[in-house]
Chains A and B, each alone.
Chain A
Amino acid sequence: MEFAIFFFFAAVAVIFALVVVLHRNPVVGALSLVASFFALAVMYVLLEAPFLAALQVIVYAGAIMVLFLFVIMLLNLQHVAEPVTRPIQQFLGYTTAAAFGVGLLYYIVKYAVFEKLPDGPFHADAHTIGITLFEAYVFPFEMVSILLLAAIVGALLLSGRTYQKREAT
């Protein structure tokens, strides 16, 4: 039963990822990425981490992709002509990625096949994550909050309202 769910949503994730990479229209690509993230959230539930599955949908599918869609729609990017990649770059890109992928799969099958899981329940709930976050990882936590502040200030400055149109040199 779990295998059926796994294979179905794995297929959904891979198919929509292919649509993202291969389709011309960036809006369709963005929506396919949302579907792929949703399928990945189901994967996280299968990995016994429902808290992170909900976070994945809230943060990635619900906030980051909305940002992508806003940018695409407000800049009217679906009407700009899609640049065509030169054939030599396409060929080299596909072969490099294929070689990389085959190597990665080989090493996974060779070294990363585990027989069994350890006994006992896996506590991946908010309580355990909260305690670990505020005891062992409190310094990175505070640093990430400062980093988010820097990101907000940077994004506001870069796309600010009093934008002077500089000439293309």
Chain B
Amino acid sequence: MPFDATDIGLSIVKIAIVLFMMLNITPIMVWVERRGSALIQDRPGPNRVGPFGLFQSFADALKFILKEDIVPARAHKWLYTLAPAFGLLPALTTIAVVPWGRSFKLPEKVWFGQRFFEGRPLFEPVVADVSAGILVVFALASLAVYGITIAGWSSNNKYSLFGAIRASAQMISYELSLTLAAVSVLLVAGSLRLTDVVWHQTGYFVLFDTVKIPAWNVFSPAMWISFIVFGVSAFAETNRLPFDFAEAEAELVAGYHTEYSSMKFALFFMAEYMAMGTMSALIATLYLGGWDIPWYNEPATWQGFVLSALFFLIKVVFLLFVFVWVRWTIPRLKYDILMKIGWKVFLPLAVLNTLVVAAFIAAGWI
């Protein structure tokens, strides 16, 4: 396909924006987690390093950089160093197919005597609008298992191996319910592209001929079960409480990253928060209408684009706060109960929801 300078330039701008947002999630979420957990547990939290402890993330980053980087004695050196990269790969790449704003036609401008954007090309705020959009997300998310398994195995520590095996078994089990829960959304939207899924959710449900509700998937009764299943599986996929057997603090020392220190541990940390960010973006796109502003028809100009991107950010931030909220409220489940409900409760529920949505579509109600 013909690439010209405009396409490449716009792609670079989009990649820069998305990468900037993803890399900034970790320091901000560290602060949110620590102050949020303090709020829930009725204690002050970090409040010494700057006003309201806002510079705590800088202090943490400095600590990680200055710590000594060790490799355990009989660990497999190559795999030990490669494992954090495996963890970071799905977190950074899956955000490429998520649309984060409304598309608009670029206006023709003259800067420095050069005409730009002739022919008014469409600015599509997705880094990669692949036709098999959501499958790319699932494909890359299934690579997250390798980061944990290799980290636990290569540390040459049986507690790390236990944590890694338990966490990988949990992740591959909940991947199934994650995928099947998303299938019902895709059936209704009729396409695998995430941009089509969001466009399907612009519009309104009209109740009793007067009340207009935005046509987000979370407001459609056929999708409620799949929303719950997807939310729970998102917690299981990102290894957050109540499913955090990978870390399991106070149980397995620190699970699969017991033997990691300094920047490699920081990479695992970053990968976990970025995976949280990606999952929140996915939940917002599939169920909460993505960049759609409720009760407002965004115009196809750059002002509409900025507003829609802002609303997307608000939804993602709200979901990130829900992640933190649930972590400090719900206790950890016992491992066999977790595996049992993964296979015996959530997977049948997801299949049931797919059948229900398929029946509704066949009957013409959706």
- A-to-B contact residues, CB < 8 Å: 1, 27-28, 31, 34, 41, 50-51, 53-55, 57-58, 61-63, 66, 69-70, 73-74, 125-126
Contacts and interface: CB of A to CB of B under 8 A. Distances in A.
Contacts of A70: 149, 165, 168
A41 B132 CA distance: 13
A63 B143 CA distance: 9
A101 B71 CA distance: 43
A126 B131 CA distance: 9
B142 A62 contact: yes
B185 interface: no
Interface of B: 3, 76, 79, 130-132, 135-136, 138-140, 142-143, 145-146, 149-150, 153, 161, 165, 168, 172, 175, 192
A126 B192 CA distance: 8
A61 B90 CA distance: 13
Contact of B161 (A50, A55, A58, A73): A73
A57 B146 contact: no
Contacts of A27: 76, 79, 153
B135 A66 contact: no
A74 B149 CA distance: 11
A51 B132 contact: yes
Contacts of A62: 139, 142-143, 145, 175
A28 to B, nearest CB: 8
Contacts of B131: 50-51, 125
Of the listed residues A31, A54, A63, the one surrounded by the most CB atoms of chain B closer than 10 A to its CB is: A54
Given A51-B132, A66-B168, A57 B161 contact: no
A55 B149 contact: no
Contacts of A55: 135, 139
Contacts of B135: 51, 54-55, 58
B130 to A, nearest CB: 6
Given A31-B79, A54-B132, 5 more contacts: A50-B131, A58-B135, A66-B145, A66-B149, A74-B165
Contacts of A57: 139-140, 142-143
A61 B79 contact: no
Nearest to A2: B1
Contact of B142 (A41, A50, A51, A61): A61
A54 B150 contact: no
A73 B146 contact: no
A151 to B, nearest CB: 16
Contacts of A125: 131-132, 192
